[in-house]
Amino acid sequence: MVHTQIGKDIDYAASLLRSGEIVAIPTETVYGLAGNAFSEQAVKKIYAIKNRPLHNPLIVHLAEKSFLDRIAINIPSTAFLLLEKFSPGPLTILLEKKESIPGIVTSGLPHVAVRFPSHPMTIELLRLLDFPLAAPSANPFGYISPTRAEHVMKQLGGKIPYILDGGICDKGIESTVVGFQGEVPVVHRLGAISLEDIRHLIPGTITKTREEHQPVSPGMLLHHYSPSTKTILTDDLESAIKQAGNKKAGVISFRRTIHNIPNDHQYTLSSSGDLEEAARNLYDALHQLDALQLDLIIVEKVPDEGIGKAINDRLERAAARR
């Protein structure tokens, strides 16, 4: 066990990372569990702390576009188009990797996932370092991603020395992961940038969905992002609540308050029906209800459009049985 501190000391976080330690960092999507991407030893620690299988590769985080040439080659021109429009921000692109990135970061794959986060504290941190940060979401493998420093503390306290506290994550849902077939963008994981927005920029963009059965991006595995409490996803909250009978049920609704459920057992994602707000609140809702030791969490699907597609995708996985 190590003593875990929460704080806002960017210099201290940098010094820990320079000495090979693992630090939780804020990003605009979710908190990351960061280590020196050039150090095999540091990256090994990340997998161990997360209990993550070694065949599930990590995203490399950068602050400066000029750094790209140190880690990737043969970058498609559509990648630059996407970067120009969506970075810094919740876009992750898969690029042919250079030797500088150890194989353990990419699970031996020839491509490295790269992202330029927009959280100001993490940008400042990256600028203090002469190496990029490999960082998966800062949750134990398969569990709910953290969108507040306290979520990280709850899940990984005692395992890392420091959590850099950047407040509540603005987007609340992970980055959109995009690879390339030649110049054609291929969306591997839905995320905070909607498919519509990517297609608006590059109309030929295709998707590799889970139905095609090739989990190129293991974030596409089922029973990911799951609470410990049994979780049900439904289009019809009222019937699902009725069916739960005497069970102690928590409810996450998109925009309503449900009258026969105690207030502290329910969470409304966005009373104004704003999908961005719903995304921001999603993981906090799951964390909160999961802590109540209920028999069941019933979640209402959100409208399947824009970022709502990514929200429903995460909810389907949360509801898939372990």
Residues that bind Mg ion in the complex, under the rule CB under 5 A: 137
Q: For residue 226, state whether it binds ligand TXA (rule: CB under 6 A).
A: no
Contacted by 94, from Mg ion, ligand TXA, none: CB < 5 to 8 Å by type: ligand TXA
Q: What are phi and psi of 187, to 5 degrees?
A: -80, 120
CB of residue 268 vs Mg ion: minimum separation in angstroms? 25
Reading the block at residue 310, the tokens are 């990514």
CB closer to Mg ion out of 137 and 155:
137
Contact 131, 145 (CB under 8 A): no
Task: Give the binding range for ligand TXA (CB under 6 A) out of 29-37, 147-155, 230-238, 259-267.
Answer: 29-37
Q: Strand, helix or coil at 266?
A: strand
CB of 313 to ligand TXA, least distance (A): 12
Binding segment (CB under 6 A) for ligand TXA, from list 10-18, 41-49, 87-95, 247-255: 87-95
Q: Is 114 in the site for ligand TXA (CB under 6 A)?
A: no
**Residues 296/248, Cβ–Cβ less than 8 Å:** yes
Ramachandran assignment for 256, one of left (phi > 0), alpha (psi -120 to 50 degrees), beta (any other) = beta
**How many residues of this chain interact with ligand TXA, rule: CB under 6 A?**
30
Interface with ligand TXA, residue 175, by CB under 6 A: yes
Instruction: Provide the minimum distance between the beta carbon of 29 and ligand TXA in the complex, in angstroms, as a whole number.
Output: 3
Cα 30 from Cα 11, distance rounded (Å): 21
Q: List the single partner that 189 binds among ligand TXA, Mg ion, none, CB under 5 to 8 Å by kind.
A: ligand TXA
Q: Which of 102, 132, 136, 250 binds ligand TXA (CB under 6 A)?
A: 136
Using alpha carbons, select from 119, 114, 150, 156 the residue that is nearest to residue 134.
114
Taking CB under 6 A as the criterion, the residue among 16, 21, 23, 32 binding ligand TXA is: 32
Tell me the closest approach of the beta carbon of residue 173 to ligand TXA, in angstroms: 8
Nearest to 83 by CA among 190, 196, 202: 202
- Residue 141, amino acid: F
Report the nearest approach of Mg ion to the CB of residue 124 (Å). 24
- Structural tokens at position 131: 């190496």
Reading the block at residue 235, the tokens are: 């289009």
Contact range with ligand TXA by CB under 6 A, out of 1-9, 13-21, 35-43, 105-113: 105-113
Cβ 125 to ligand TXA, closest distance in Å? 13
Question: Distance between CA 172 and CA 179 in Å, rounded?
Answer: 22
Regarding 58 and contact with ligand TXA (CB under 6 A), the answer is yes
Give which of ligand TXA, Mg ion, none residue 217 binds (C-beta under 5 to 8 Å, depending on kind): ligand TXA
Asked if 195 and 174 touch (Cβ cutoff 8 Å), the reply is: no
Q: How far is the CB of 25 from ligand TXA (least distance, A)?
A: 8
Asked whether the beta carbons of 212 and 218 are under 8 A apart, the reply is: no
**Interface of this chain with ligand TXA, residues 182 to 201, rule: CB under 6 A:** 188-189
Q: Least distance to ligand TXA from the beta carbon of 97, Å?
A: 8
Q: Is 10 left (phi over 0), alpha (psi -120 to 50) or beta?
A: alpha
Confirm or reject binding of residue 227 to ligand TXA (CB under 6 A).
no
CA–CA gap between residue 270 and residue 287 (Å, rounded)? 17
Q: Which of 153, 137, 159 is nearest to 6 (CA)?
A: 153
Q: Give CA–CA dist 295/259, Å, rounded.
A: 19
Distance CA 24, CA 114 (A): 18
By CB under 6 A, tell whether 174 contacts ligand TXA: yes
Residues that bind ligand TXA (CB under 6 A): 27, 29-30, 32, 56-59, 90, 92, 94, 106, 109, 111-113, 115, 117, 135-137, 174-175, 177, 188-189, 216-219
